[in-house]
Structure 1
């Protein structure tokens, strides 16, 4: 194992996000000091988790049968993260312990694989390994001055500028994930992208020079946009190499918005209100959205999204939903009754729009 290897917050977040994608439950990664390093529930990041200290003390699995059994812990199971017989942290699943037991082996294996992928080896065998090593060093470890990285860039015949950005490509579905790297590597190289890494289970992180921003944006829209399958791409902010970890986080936020809006490409720099809302306390966001639109059905939520996407046009919304204009008005009236906010009133409409945005963050 790499000497003094530490799990960075960005790597920990990647691990919990990937695990939830497969397992479908909230996942927490806890540092050995009991601090929650990353979580699929943003409100828990930075909080204290007493059960994790018990895992470290016992060196074994710790079940939490109730939310009050350990300070800061919720019902679920917590596992030691062991690499080469060294504990690097604790990972836990939130939920009924009996139900979670069957997922424990899968969770620990996913965690182990992702950590081992991140550990930079002294000798890299393939060009794809070199690409992956460079990207992971920059977005997970914030390393710019690294002899191996500079050597790899020379071998790849790629000049990395002082300013660059990260983009994340989300591939549709989880079927045939073992073939994703083989297929996408060729696609990315064909588009002139030389620095990329595969993120389990269905994403690619790429690093691109700032001078190529407009060109790559056109490439993403033209190549991925017309394809039959639904790809989504989040583009992070441009910054110096030491800031690429931040660009990676921005790309994740842009991707989240792209997925929620079902668009091919979303640029972080184009997010305005969404950026402000992302900084609002998670519980406050959750409470506001639940209070206003929590009683609406999925069909009603989709109707509102269509209504706002069509700039509050009854005619265009009705046409897009293949319903009569009177039917649309009736459904909007039902939403007004449920929420006590009329979508056709300017001020109420703003409230509903904000609630929809908060729900997608």
Structure 2
């Protein structure tokens, strides 16, 4: 592992805050790459070269005992059983030697933590790049190998697309929350952004998946005070099916946000939504113009709610009026007015269906 100058400087600065002595970090070629004494950065430390050669700690009794050295103590820093640098502390040897184990352990802990963060970042970047290729690249085939993500395309998966209510900088936590609850193997891949995430999960059971997604929703709500919605596609076992599962997940999410109001929406449970989410804009516009053009924007919003309640009550005027907090004669008048303005009678099943589709189309893609 190569230690960057920024990491090395962070290490020496943090250690000095604890033991209040000048600290140096020296590369394996003997160059001081970080120091709390900036005048020493870039100098060659011959004592460090001896530590590298022998693997033994080195006490320097007086300044320039070795070229470029000052009195103090130097010890090797290990990572995965390899010497990756030398950490040195300047001062009276009998005083500073007591810190030997502390500075070595602190340095190795900080390097291990930095390596873990770097590895985690690279993994997340690889997974994001892989998912981007999977859902946007038209040239992938089932024989392609993308080893960076360790992905076996033939394993059954579902695509999950999620949206967090507010754009934020919690993508790191969201990624690890998704991995904690959804990953039963390395074959689950995740891409998490500031408000949208995509997962190809090997958990395909609807019941198990819904259980874990509810756990994720509760976690995000508890720790970040944000809501989350999920759309889930059908099971996929090829690149082509993966693209389709992603598209289905996006459509399911759109349906959940606009109509079902459920936080979890499976594509296979969308019923009438299967028609509307793929409705082309020209057709949507034509339907709205033919049906709703004589209504104002406020009237459209009012009738969306009236028809929703009217349908929920199976066409009962009295129960619908009660739920809408209006007199049943008022409801009758408004339904008659809707018939008069649109030419479609909401009391007749065929006309009600056309009105419902038109209003739902308007909610998804207002075209008038």
Corresponding position: 1:130 with 2:126: yes
When the two chains are superposed, the root-mean-square deviation of aligned CA atoms in Å is 3.3
Structure 1, unpaired ranges of 5+: 1-122
Pick the aligned partner of 1:195 from 177, 189, 199. 189
Which residue matches 1:256? 254
- For residues 88-127 of structure 1, what are the structure 2 equivalents within 5 Å? 125-127=121-123
Q: Distance in 2 between matches of 1:325 and 1:270?
A: 34
Conserved 8 A contact 2:153-2:237: no
Q: Distance in 2 between matches of 1:314 and 1:238?
A: 43
Conserved 8 A contact 1:195-1:207: yes
Q: Distance in 1 between matches of 2:170 and 2:321?
A: 39
1:238 partner SS? strand
Q: Distance in 2 between matches of 1:339 and 1:274?
A: 23
Conserved 8 A contact 2:181-2:215: no
Conserved 8 A contact 2:126-2:148: no
Instruction: Indicate the structure (1 or 2) with the bigger Cα radius of gyration.
Output: 2
Residue 248 (structure 1) shift: 0.9
Which residue matches 2:97? none
- For residues 1-361 of structure 1, what are the structure 2 equivalents within 5 Å? 125-141=121-137, 143=140, 144-147=142-145, 149-153=146-150, 162-174=155-167, 177=168, 179-193=169-183, 194-199=188-193, 202-209=195-202, 211-221=204-214, 224=217, 229-242=226-239, 243-261=241-259, 262-277=261-276, 281-294=280-293, 295=295, 296-314=299-317, 317-359=320-362, 360=364
Equivalent pairs counted in the alignment come to 230
Residue 136 (structure 1) shift: 2.2
Per-residue CA distance 1:85-120 (angstroms, 9 max, x = gap): xxxxxxxxxxxxxxxxxxxxxxxxxxxxxxxxxxxx
Conserved 8 A contact 2:231-2:264: yes
RCO (CA 8 Å, sep 6+): is it higher in 1 or 2? Answer: 1
2:182 partner SS? coil
Conserved 8 A contact 2:160-2:246: yes
Residue 263 (structure 1) shift: 2.5
Residue 352 (structure 1) shift: 0.8
Residue 150 (structure 1) shift: 3.0
2:340 partner SS? helix
Q: Report the TM-score, using the length of structure 2 for normalisation.
A: 0.53
Residue 125 (structure 1) shift: 5.0
1:191 partner SS? helix
Q: Distance in 1 between matches of 2:310 and 2:174?
A: 36
Residue 236 (structure 1) shift: 1.2
Q: Distance in 1 between matches of 2:162 and 2:287?
A: 31
Closer, same or farther: CA 331–238 of 1 in aligned 2, 3 Å = same
Q: Distance in 2 between matches of 1:329 and 1:229?
A: 41
2:234 partner SS? coil
User: Deviating runs (4+, > 6 A) in structure 1?
Assistant: none
Conserved 8 A contact 1:318-1:328: yes
2:191 partner SS? strand
Closer, same or farther: CA 338–231 of 1 in aligned 2, 3 Å = farther
Q: Distance in 1 between matches of 2:325 and 2:153?
A: 50
Structure 2, unpaired ranges of 5+: 1-118
Per-residue CA distance 1:246-305 (angstroms, 9 max, x = gap): 111111111111111132222211234433455554312221123212424322223323
Closer, same or farther: CA 291–124 of 1 in aligned 2, 3 Å = same
Deviates more, 1:232-241 or 1:249-258: 232-241
Residue 151 (structure 1) shift: 4.4
Q: Distance in 1 between matches of 2:137 and 2:189?
A: 16
2:210 partner SS? helix
Closer, same or farther: CA 310–255 of 1 in aligned 2, 3 Å = farther
Closer, same or farther: CA 129–163 of 1 in aligned 2, 3 Å = same
Q: Distance in 2 between matches of 1:293 and 1:277?
A: 17
